[in-house]
Structure 1
Amino acid sequence: MHVNKPLTLLGGISPAEFMSTYWQRKPLLVRQAFPQFKALLSRSELFDLAQHNEVESRLVMGTNGGQRDWRMQRGPFKRRAIPKLTERDWTLLVQGVDLHDDRMAALMHQFRFIPDARLDDVMVSYASDGGGVGPHFDSYDVFLLQAHGQRRWRIGRQKDLSLVPEMPLKILAHFRPEQDWVLDPGDMLYLPPRYAHEGIAQGECMTYSVGFRVPQTGDLARELLVRLSEGAEDTAGGDLYKDASQAAVSHPAQVPQGLNEFARLALQKSLKDPKALQRALGEYLTEPKANVYFEMGDAPHQLKSVYLDRRSKMMYDAQHIFLNGESWRAAGKDAVLMRQLANQRCLSAEDLAKASADAVSLLLEWCDDGWLHAGA
């Protein structure tokens, strides 16, 4: 992607300008970001997805009045459990639709001027007239694309983020909107993290939310330490704790200072190799979500072209290639080829002609795993 080329998607500005001016800073409303846009997923297709156990879905209902009485249920939902289309004030939210539909995955890939390490998923919100999830804020960036019908968005940058107590949803207690728009199909609104907003359907309405993952220090540290521990024995040498100089103690419950020091050194050794930390981070960032399963494929005898499965996550750093939570050391021409696959998510016959026998063998293995597919 040419990051300095203006995009209709961003209202005629370039990805470079968007990232330096708007990203995590201020909202951007783009009229006709997708001109003459038609919903990629029909209502019946969305309702069908919500019936599956492996698809995360929620049903939100609220009653208009001075204070909404919010209710929320988690799926899966049989069709009869979804309210009638003529009923007001309900919303069906289906998460990770890009994992189940190639069209939605292709939509999300149009936002790859932002690193894959930050892209999360596409959520589809279907609402009847008056439906919404109340005034709230998200901890992550989001692009809100109107797919069908109209939705009224009210937004505000407020410091008071206190919530209404004893609610099944995180509803802002004191929402103070500053701007107000009605979005039509193809219109899109970008909001930075913690920007207060409320969307209300005006008639039957469908909105696509392209969301981003936000690693938190505690979660990230825990995941990395677990992955680093898998190779800690090799890294740290597998040394055993020795305390030949330990004196007899009158306070047996006290942790010995020598053991504290041994623990500190063990952790220090496991973190000493920067490549180990990079490996752990890449594996964590490409780990498939818990509800993602790949079907074993039949690798062809000869690869003409290949493309990544829509659910596959592939990234790289200076020394490694990462795919679906696993890592490989890579260098030279094969590394260049694998990085191309990660960036473009496909390789042509001309590209594959440059691959070594080891690289082809690895690609065939990925085809067997269902992570990669052979093209015609």
Structure 2
Amino acid sequence: MTFTDFDVDLFLRDYWQKKPMLIRNPWQAWANPVEPDELAGLACEEGVESRLIGRADGRWSVEHGPLAEDRFARMGAAPWTLLVQAVDMHVPGVAALIAPFRFVPNWRIDDVMVSYATDGGGVGAHYDQYDVFLIQGLGRRRWRLGQHCDADTPLLVQEDLRLLAQFDVTDEWVLEPGDILYVPPGVAHDGIAVGDDCMTYSVGFRAPSRSELVEQFCAHMVTDMVEDDRYADPDLRAQANPGEIDAAALARLQAMVMDAVGDPAAFARWFGTYNSERKYPELDFRPDEQIAAEDVRELVADGVALCRNPASRFAFVAQGGDAVTLFVDGQAHDCDGDAALLARQLCAADVLTLDPVLMEKEAAVSLIVTLYNEGSVSFDPEDGPQD
């Protein structure tokens, strides 16, 4: 899917992480990519994160999946909402919704959550700590936006919902199929289905907190530290008051910490590895049969396209010259020359038709073999040339 009427530069300059934006049906041709029954089926599967949210008599209820197959038939007349996370991992048409938003770096993309709601259904007034594009898929939804919120904003905690104690409405729109609402981090919002069969696609973006970065990076660095790397003060002199921690000691102590975490190359390698870990690492996508170099060359010669696994995360960090470090699903691959060219291509496109000349290079073929056998890429004959 592509946009035909959307000014990326204007959006990034005036709206991204600044203020909400209503985008009326910018698609070349909007088509809802997943049907309600298919979404309900996903919510019944093991390994798929889902929630069923209802409200009756002023109280919210939350039920976590996997749901029983007959659960929806027993919902009754009260409004309810089904939320299913990471549907892009399971439905190619939903994964395709991410492509128009690639003006935001891939490492920032989280997943596409899909919601289905009956008339009046919603999840209450709340705010998120990340950017989100809310795409109306089926039916209509009334969105109300409000004040900017932060950690000091009073909340009402019901079940595991974090709802606003006060919601000051500033804007209100009804979205039709194909319409998009962009909501920056911290902006209060509340979406309510207008009629039945209301489906909304939430393209969410990750934004690691400072505390997360410090905690995770330091934990990573500590694993390689040795016990005998300790504070030393061979130039110690007697001081007037033995109870003082003097400036020289503090400077040494802080330098020990800063030297340990201040290596840009070490941070880049850690972050690329950490950030590229799969959202659900417990899921195993490795193929039943591994592939060999000669198989890769044969498939490429036949024009079969190489496809990234929608559940996989690809990113790279440029090194000196033409070299890059490719990060895929929590693994780092140091690449140069032809392998580096391939790594850049893999990060730029979900589906890649490879140049057979490139397959004459052992390093490039070896990279594909490794990624295929890890379940990060596959060859899909349907993406090759059609008769």
Tell me if both proteins adopt one fold, taking TM over 0.5 as the criterion: yes
**Amino acid paired to 2:172:** D
Counterparts of 1:154 and 1:362 in 2: how far apart (Å)?
48
Aligned to 1:324: 329
Query: What secondary structure is seen at the aligned counterpart in 1 of 2:333?
Result: strand
> With structure 1 as the length reference, what TM-score do the two structures score?
0.84
Aligned to 1:370: 375
| Structure 2 contact 50–65 (Cα < 8 Å) conserved | yes
1:245-292 Cα offsets, whole Å, 9 max, x none, are 8xxxxxxxx9x9999999766644443432111100100110112355
> With structure 2 as the length reference, what TM-score do the two structures score?
0.82
**Amino acid paired to 1:31:** R
Question: After the TM superposition, which residues 67-146 of structure 1 pair with which residues of structure 2 at under 5 Å, given as runs?
Answer: 68-82=58-72, 84=74, 87-146=77-136
Aligned to 2:239: none
More strand by share: 2
**Amino acid paired to 2:154:** S
Question: After the TM superposition, which residues 127-276 of structure 1 pair with which residues of structure 2 at under 5 Å, given as runs?
Answer: 127-158=117-148, 161-164=153-156, 168-204=160-196, 205-232=198-225, 241=230, 267-276=257-266
The structure 1 segments of at least 4 consecutive aligned residues displaced by more than 6 Å after TM superposition are: 242-245, 256-263
Question: After the TM superposition, which residues 333-372 of structure 1 pair with which residues of structure 2 at under 5 Å, given as runs?
Answer: 333-350=338-355, 353=358, 356-372=361-377
136-145 or 161-170, larger mean C-alpha shift: 161-170
Query: What secondary structure is seen at the aligned counterpart in 1 of 2:219?
Result: helix
| Structure 1 contact 146–185 (Cα < 8 Å) conserved | yes
CA shift for structure 1 position 241: 4.9
**Amino acid paired to 2:206:** R
Counterparts of 1:142 and 1:175 in 2: how far apart (Å)?
19
**1:63–1:369: structure 2 CA closer, same or farther, 3 Å change rule?**
same
CA shift for structure 1 position 226: 2.7
CA shift for structure 1 position 135: 1.2
Query: What secondary structure is seen at the aligned counterpart in 2 of 1:152?
Result: strand
CA shift for structure 1 position 39: 2.2
Query: What secondary structure is seen at the aligned counterpart in 1 of 2:105?
Result: coil
**1:47–1:28: structure 2 CA closer, same or farther, 3 Å change rule?**
same
| Structure 1 contact 241–259 (Cα < 8 Å) conserved | no
**Over aligned residues, Cα RMSD in angstroms?**
3.0
Query: What secondary structure is seen at the aligned counterpart in 1 of 2:135?
Result: strand
Counterparts of 1:184 and 1:124 in 2: how far apart (Å)?
16
Aligned to 1:26: 19
CA shift for structure 1 position 149: 0.9
Counterparts of 1:355 and 1:228 in 2: how far apart (Å)?
39
Identity %: 36
CA shift for structure 1 position 54: 1.0
